[in-house]
Chain A
Amino acid sequence: MSLESLAEEVKKVLGGFAKEVAWRKGYLEVLVETANVVEAAEKLKSIGLDHVKSVTAVDYPKESKIRVTYHASSYSREDLMGVIVGLSVDLPRDNPEMPSLISVWDGSVEFQEREVYEFFGVSFKGHPDLRPLLLIQELAEKKVLRKDFIVKEESIYEGVPFKYD
């Protein structure tokens, strides 16, 4: 499938939902409103984008937003196998909350939404089992992948008192 016709098809199926459609390097990014994200995902699934490769979240502290992108692609339509469509939403940074897309994309987003939840603190409404996946609760509360969590370089002598004698 040529890239232009994919963009056309996605635009057509999404109708008014798409706020912004842009070609990035390697994928087509579609930005939608948080309120419309479930319907938009269902529409994308209806043209054959049947699974999600990655639930990617990026923190933009300057613009005070977190962008969550569902990189969806297809296993069942051969002409769509070679393309990736990113369905993005912008969430406010202080209270990020969005509906879970587990109802649309099933198991392929289940663990990855848990991952975004623990690393960015995005809470997915309607996720049946929203708890940290890789981290423990105490660490997850720090939302470690946000930009304001600074990785401090540790010296191997950290905490060892100096002795001058």
Chain B
Amino acid sequence: MTSGGLEAGAQRIPGVTVKKIEKEVYEIFIGPQHPGSGHMRIIVRLDGDIIVEADPDIGYVHRTMEKLSEVREWLKPIPLLERMTIIDACNVTLPYVNALEKLMDKTPSTRASYLRVLLCEINRVASHLYGMGIFGVFIGHSTMYMWAFGDREVFVELAEVLTGARLTHTYPIPGGVRRDMPQDLPEMARRTVRYMRGRLEEYRKIFVDNPVIVKRLAGVGVISKSRAIELGVVGPNLRASGVKYDVRIAEPYEVYGELDFEIPVFEEGDALARTWVRVEEIKQSLNIIEQAVNWLETHKGEPVIAKEDFDKLPKLHKEVYEKEGRVKLVPAHATMKIPAGKAVARGEMGRGEIFYYVESDGGTTPYRVRVVTPSARNAIVFKHIVPGHTLMDLPAIYGSIDYFPPESDR
């Protein structure tokens, strides 16, 4: 934000850029107070109805997550980082926990891994439904919006039964998870899965196969395979462009290596393909949820934190675990020290790959936490893909890449 082109004598306002634009170009500011922008601004320059330049101006919900993580003890960034994407809370913190586990050379118990995967997939479905709902209302389809948000509630409630919190679960901790699943969860999860499969069919009828929607989305916002790779696009947007990349396959974490699922890939790279990828991924996530609860039901008895941690717990804490299925940590956990080192961990969120770089100098707080969220990497699409489309295509592209400003701004 340089102040080049400022007239002499004009007063300089903090945070405001002054820039000369061409006479033929019509410049409009979409956001941050605009029904179709979210917490961001896209500065769009139009020639007639065609966008010639789009400049995503993000950062309106920047909350200094990286800096704040450096002044908190190791466990405390978990609830903080969750706030980036509360609708995808387990996926967004799991790689941070994984990075800590790498630094500590700790392996979570298998049961904990399955529980993490279960919550991750519940989150993924909820996140996709959220994205599809917003997408629907962006292109004027209010029914899709209401349906998706209504059905997301089912998964939010399933997560609540599992963790005790609707959105910010703070579920994984280094070495395990915070509580075991309740007895009735498997049955509830199976019912949810059955229900959602039926609903997906209805979605197809009213939204994905709707002639108006298909006409609106096909061939819009095409990201070719090579361009997607150059721009470093992630998640469903990448897979819609024909790149078969998913962290769950590329570098399996937790128990994803043992589960049976597919990665849907489409070649078209347009907004419609991105929608299809989300629908197909919901189906795969439902499969994983079923497999996970089946495993959890048949393998009982193992504690949900690493064995060496569990053995060290005092008797009272073990009793609490036996009775309530809840892990009560000793206070030493809050001020634990982690061996010096640098670790990188990544995971697949609903919106794509999340990357953590965690560095420890052996103290009680992280030396450096670097987090790159999927939306932060997808933001580049606005700049390079949007120009050349008409103004009415902007909401279609925005919605189809499922951009989430709070996640991007961190």
Contacts and interface: CB of A to CB of B under 8 A. Distances in A.
The reply to whether A and B meet directly (CB within 8 Å) is yes
Interface of A: 24-27, 29, 50-54, 56, 58-59, 69, 71, 75-76, 81-84, 86, 105-112, 119, 131-138, 144-145, 149, 151
B67 A144 contact: yes
Given A132-B1, A133-B59, A134-B59, A71 B343 contact: no
Contact of B66 (A29, A51, A145): A145
16 contacts: A24-B343, A25-B102, A25-B344, A53-B355, A71-B344, A75-B245, A86-B344, A107-B380, A108-B377, A110-B383, A111-B376, A111-B379, A131-B1, A131-B2, A133-B59, A136-B1
A141 B371 CA distance: 22
Nearest to A140: B1
Interface string B342-353: 111110000001
Q: Could you tell me the dominant secondary structure of chain B's interface residues?
A: mixed
A97 to B, nearest CB: 18
Contacts of B3: 137
Interface in B248-290: 250-251
B232 A52 contact: yes
Interface in B78-127: 99, 102-103
B250 A82 contact: yes
Given A51-B229, A75-B229, 11 more contacts: A26-B99, A52-B232, A54-B355, A56-B368, A56-B370, A84-B346, A105-B232, A107-B231, A107-B232, A133-B59, A136-B15
A78 B62 CA distance: 35
Contacts of A119: 66
Contacts, number: 119
B384 interface: yes
Given A107-B380, A108-B232, A75 B409 contact: no
Contacts of A149: 67
A82 to B, nearest CB: 4
A108 B380 contact: yes
A126 B231 CA distance: 18
Interface in B57-82: 58-59, 62, 64, 66-68, 71
Interface string B368-410: 1010100011011001100000000000000000000000011
Contacts of A52: 232
Contacts of B368: 56, 58-59
A56 B357 contact: yes
Given A24-B341, A25-B102, A82-B251, A136 B68 contact: no
B359 interface: yes
A29 B359 CA distance: 13
Contacts of A108: 230-232, 377, 380
